[in-house]
Amino acid sequence: MEKKVSKTSIITGISFIIYALALTVGPNTLYQGCAAEKMMKCTQSLNVLFWIGIVLGIIGIVNFFIKSDIYRLVASVVGIIAGIFAFLIPTVIIGACSMATMPCRALTFPVIYVLSGIFIVVTVVNGILLLRARKTQKDSE
């Protein structure tokens, strides 16, 4: 039981940290957005995603110091909501550049959408494994 819990703990921590890096470091390095000559919608969207990434990164790091399943379950829910917001912020809530050929729409946000989708899937699966582990633990008690 201990082994299973620690496996999900590692998955939670690592997936959160990787996704946090994807939202904070990635748009400034590997998949840069538009050159910010003025405050554009895409810049605003990336700024919000940056802070979401910071919060997720903190959750991921703290996860390694906390042994509680409840923490990881709550983190999974927060992670899924954050992933959904990563889709909604550039498309609906704030927006991005109008032209489909601009760097933010051609590269930056598609990368974020793909990574968000993967993160949501991993978090959901991890959440299911956590719930199963808790159920097994309760049954054996």
Partner 1 sequence: MIFFVTLLAFTMFSVSIISRSTENGLSSVVNRLGADIMVVPEEGGDSVQSLLFQGTPCTTYFDAGIEEKIKNVEGVEKTSPQLYLATLSASCCDSQLQLIAFDPKTDFVIQPWLKSSLHNNLSAGSVVVGSSVNKKAGDTITFYGIEFKVAGRMERTGMGYDSSVFLNFEDAQKILESPNIEKNKDLKQVDNIISTVVVDIGTNSISKVSEQIKKELSGNSVGVYTSETLTHSIAGSIANFKDLEKFTEAISFLSAAVALLSLFAITINERKKEFGILLSIGTGHKQIFQIIVTEATTITIFGAILGIVIGAITVFPFSIVISQKLALPYLLPELTEIAGLVIKILVISVSTGICSAIVATKRLLACDASELVKETE
Q: Establish how many alpha carbons lie within 13 A of residue 14's alpha carbon, considering only the half-sphere containing its beta carbon.
A: 8
With CB under 8 A as the contact rule, the residue among 48, 73, 80, 106 that binds partner 1 is 106
Q: What is the DSSP string of 23-42?
A: HHTGGGTTT-----SS--HH
- The burial of 2, by beta-carbon neighbours within 10 Å (0-12 exposed, 13-18 middle, 19 or more buried), is given as exposed
By CB under 8 A, tell whether 91 contacts partner 1: no
Least distance (Å) from partner 1 to the CB of residue 98?
A: 4
- Pinpoint the alpha helices (H) of the chain: 2-24, 41-63, 69-88, 103, 109-140
Nearer to partner 1, 21 or 107 (CB): 107
* Closest distance of CB 12 from partner 1, Å: 23
Question: Based on CB atoms, which residue is closest to partner 1, 94 or 102?
Answer: 102
Q: Of 92 and 100, which has the nearer Cβ to partner 1? A: 100
> How near is the Cβ of 76 to partner 1 at its closest, in Å?
23
Determine if 36 is a binding residue for partner 1 (CB under 8 A). no
For 25, other C-beta atoms within 10 Å of its C-beta total 13
Residue number with CB closer to partner 1 (21 or 106): 106
- The length of the chain in residues reads 141
Residues that bind partner 1 (CB under 8 A): 34, 40, 97-102, 105-107, 110, 113-114
